[in-house]
Amino acid sequence: MCELFFDLQTYRYIKNDMNNVIKNPMKLIVVLASIVLFVVAAITSYNYLYHTLPPEQVAIAISYSPDTSCRVDSPVYMLIKNDSYREIISTSFSLSVKKQINSNNYIQLLEKNYITDKIIKAGESYGGCWPYPKLNTDHYVPEKLMYEINTKQVAFRD
């Protein structure tokens, strides 16, 4: 008899609660909207942390150094620094070589794409000497040119 009373009492409580929800749909709408908002925020955060942030945490530095760290036939030193939490499996970038005419104007001499399949673990760096891009160095002194990375693409291990 006690079990029947408990089940009947629970049934009445659930029935009354459902009647309140049906009578007051605003509660239901607020609860559903909160759930949807939480799911959207979670997906957005995941996409930012997993897809957007890691490429921004990879830096590529470039310098022309035929005397110090590189050989004469490969005088362009490029350093790829992985400050992300993911492992890099491939990096590609475009090198832009410019000559400064005056304080505001530059001549674009070359844009060359480079690709490396060097695996770089999270928090590590990889540096290497690369051949100088083909351009007419008779009229330009390589030490006085500007070297910039225009675009970069980084592929991470899933």
Domain limits, the chain: 2-54, 57-156
Average pLDDT over residues 28-49: 83
Q: Give the chain's largest Cα–Cα span.
A: 104
Q: How far is CA 5 from the centre of its chain?
A: 61
Q: What pLDDT, on the 0 to 100 scale, is given for residue 156?
A: 83
Whether 32 has a pLDDT exceeding 50, the answer reads: yes
Q: What pLDDT, on the 0 to 100 scale, is given for residue 2?
A: 46
Q: What pLDDT, on the 0 to 100 scale, is given for residue 14?
A: 62
Q: Which residue has the higher pLDDT, 52 or 145?
A: 145
Backbone angles phi, psi at 122, to 5 degrees: -60, 135
Whether 139 has a pLDDT exceeding 80, the answer reads: no
What whole-number distance in Å separates Cα of residue 88 and Cα of residue 103?
37
Task: Provide the CATH topology of domain 57-156.
Answer: Immunoglobulin-like (2.60.40)
Average pLDDT over residues 7-13: 63
Cβ contact 34:65 at 8 Å: no
Q: What pLDDT, on the 0 to 100 scale, is given for residue 4?
A: 47
Q: What mean pLDDT value characterizes the chain?
A: 77
Q: Which residue has the higher pLDDT, 71 or 94?
A: 94
Instruction: Count Cβ atoms below 10 Å from residue 133 Cβ, excluding itself.
Output: 16
Token pair belonging to 138: 């008779």
Q: What pLDDT, on the 0 to 100 scale, is given for residue 121?
A: 92
Closest listed residue to residue 136, CA positions, set 101, 106, 99: 99
What whole-number distance in Å separates Cα of residue 81 and Cα of residue 61?
8
| pTM for the model | 0.62
Q: Which residues contact 53 (CB under 8 A, 6 or more apart)?
A: 84
Average pLDDT over residues 108-116: 81
Q: Which of 41-55, 101-115, 142-156 comes out lowest in average pLDDT?
A: 41-55
User: Which residue is listed with tokens 């004469």?
Assistant: 72
Whether 107 has a pLDDT exceeding 70, the answer reads: yes
